[in-house]
Structure 1
């Protein structure tokens, strides 16, 4: 109760019946244990029985328990305030934060999960110096991401200030500490104003023609993700036929001109942060863990399939990026990429599914892109008289 006492009421009286978590002192708990041990011998008797029934039926007179004798711990800060020497406060992640920001544990506050992404988990926290985000890789990430290559990408883009500012990065386990961009929001994939701003930003990034030593081969990744399933069959009955069609598109893509530069690969709406500072509105592109050398048009395809656009919306985004000057051949190539990348992420989702991580509608949509845009490619080639 509000007075700090446990009060026992009549069996059918409402309002103060003991429910859920309860706190009982040692002597009373020994009485309960003795009775429970005795009645537990008769399984039929305790079939629909709750421990609270023992209080009612045996008229146990619980001794008062004051609220200052027990504490509720829900957060890191609750535990720290209760027991600053608790071994549960000691962790590699906390040590990284303390050393990187040159602070002590008492300065870490307001911790909460800020993002449970498809690849990672992140939490936001505050200190006297500002707000920060700590990224923790998710299940199976060590099989999917080369953190050494990710670190090289951050080195290449560092001086261009187009990404979140990295304070700490560990190429072995993928832990990353960055500054939190305040007053920011993600790109609205259904808002033309946002799309124009973000596609202009993306195009400017591509025009920098930055280089790294590693390449994101989509078809190699398809084979790799498929092998991660080991002997588990695909969830899709027509997987083999769909894969054959996707590889048919490879023969088309291989013949088309490409703009090979550092490409984000995961340039999706959620990774474009739009914010304002003293110099006006700005954009940052975050989460560069897949970034590699690739055809820059792959980024357009990735934005489309993550947004789960239909064909008309895909065409609209292509027109925005290319300012209504996209060539027939380039549009054909992006259609191919949408199908191929959909199949890629479908395999990625199947591997994550085996780890107990499900993506529901998103996973099914990726597989549909492989099937639907294969048809669109064939129709588009026929309509425009394209023969390769």
Structure 2
């Protein structure tokens, strides 16, 4: 059965209405998955259609557990249906909402809201049952690409080793707290009353909190002033050089990891080649530069090539 047919079948089952048609006219965004807004019986929902190959990349059972935890903490939208086999999810749509990427990820008000949400999840006493280890995720993705008979960039192995050696030498202290691990500005949603939510917890797991900080900086392409504002608001003071270096390392690791993730989508037939190239070119530049001079600024690392 095609995924679209399965989504429609689930909608009819959940709402006990065999006349429901899976309506894809109101696209709500997504890279890993495709999200659509549907009005059913007067209530608007976000219906998630899982993207290609995601069943191999994401543990939906873990995601379901973690989604329940964050919903209880009031951090995410209300989920009314979650199929841990297919990954289809139905959530209540946050009315009149916009994601922070649509508003302004660099504004002080939005940075303050993002920082507050990250601190809330990072300090939560409700821990996730799993850990997010980017190296293990990378190895898993590499294995999938090999099974798809895909190729890597010619200098991939050498630059990956260069990054791992640099991280082993420079990252000394890590902690493990609940993390979202995909803190792109599109995942922060603001309602018409100014309340901010953090959605899409499929990569969530215990990790170092600097990973989330690094992700928001990188994915939002924050300006130098916005980066300083976030660091001061999140940490309470400007971080030590060792913490700054950890953030830089995680930024490079994220470009590498999500580039390989995108390669899987490319080799499975989706249009992700430009995304692969953009992330890899930035990774190439940053890893080559920072291993010569670790003073290379975070703001310079964010820029596209």
| TM superposition score normalised by structure 2 | 0.84
- Contact (CA 8 Å) 1:108, 1:127: kept in 2 or not? no
- Contact (CA 8 Å) 1:165, 1:179: kept in 2 or not? yes
Instruction: Tell me which residue corresponds to 1:251.
Output: 168
Shift, 1:361, TM fit:
4.8
Structure 1 residue 229 and structure 2 residue 142: aligned?
A: no
Shift, 1:367, TM fit:
1.8
Across the aligned residues of Structure 1 and Structure 2, the Cα RMSD in angstroms comes to 2.7
Shift, 1:158, TM fit:
2.7
Within 5 Å, give how 1:294-373 maps onto structure 2: 294-309=207-222, 314=227, 317-359=230-272, 361-373=274-286
Deviates more, 1:302-311 or 1:139-148: 302-311
| Runs of at least 4 residues off by over 6 Å | 107-110
**1:219-273 CA distances to partner (integer Å, 9 max, x unpaired)?**
1111221121114321x332122111111133135x5222311110111100000
Instruction: Tell me which residue corresponds to 1:20.
Output: none
Distance in 1 (alpha carbons) for counterparts of 2:256 and 2:225: 20
Within 5 Å, give how 1:40-51 maps onto structure 2: none
Instruction: Tell me which residue corresponds to 1:269.
Output: 185
- Contact (CA 8 Å) 1:125, 1:132: kept in 2 or not? yes
Distance in 1 (alpha carbons) for counterparts of 2:220 and 2:253: 16
Structure 1 residue 97 and structure 2 residue 23: aligned?
A: no
- Contact (CA 8 Å) 2:12, 2:19: kept in 1 or not? no
Partner SS, residue 300 of structure 1: helix
- Contact (CA 8 Å) 1:274, 1:284: kept in 2 or not? yes
**1:300-335 CA distances to partner (integer Å, 9 max, x unpaired)?**
112223224577765554344324431221111111
The equivalent position to 2:155 in structure 1, one of 217, 233, 238, is 238
| TM superposition score normalised by structure 1 | 0.67
Distance in 1 (alpha carbons) for counterparts of 2:6 and 2:158: 47
- Where in structure 2 are there 5+ consecutive unaligned residues? 298-305
Instruction: Tell me which residue corresponds to 1:197.
Output: 113
The 1:378/1:313 distance shift into structure 2, 3 A limit, reads farther
Within 5 Å, give how 1:273-288 maps onto structure 2: 273-276=189-192, 280-288=193-201
The equivalent position to 1:124 in structure 2, one of 22, 37, 57, is 37
Distance in 2 (alpha carbons) for counterparts of 1:309 and 1:370: 17
- Contact (CA 8 Å) 1:147, 1:172: kept in 2 or not? yes
Shift, 1:191, TM fit:
2.4
Within 5 Å, give how 1:151-170 maps onto structure 2: 151-170=64-83
Distance in 1 (alpha carbons) for counterparts of 2:218 and 2:275: 9
Instruction: Tell me which residue corresponds to 1:76.
Output: none
- Count of equivalent residues: 288
- Where in structure 1 are there 5+ consecutive unaligned residues? 1-89, 384-388
Higher RCO (CA-CA < 8 Å; seq separation 6+): 2
Distance in 2 (alpha carbons) for counterparts of 1:224 and 1:311: 34
Shift, 1:281, TM fit:
2.0
- Contact (CA 8 Å) 1:107, 1:128: kept in 2 or not? no
Partner SS, residue 96 of structure 2: coil
The 1:372/1:132 distance shift into structure 2, 3 A limit, reads same
- Contact (CA 8 Å) 2:8, 2:20: kept in 1 or not? no
Distance in 2 (alpha carbons) for counterparts of 1:155 and 1:296: 20
Structure with greater Cα Rg: 1
Shift, 1:356, TM fit:
2.0
The 1:98/1:165 distance shift into structure 2, 3 A limit, reads same
The equivalent position to 1:212 in structure 2, one of 124, 128, 132, is 128
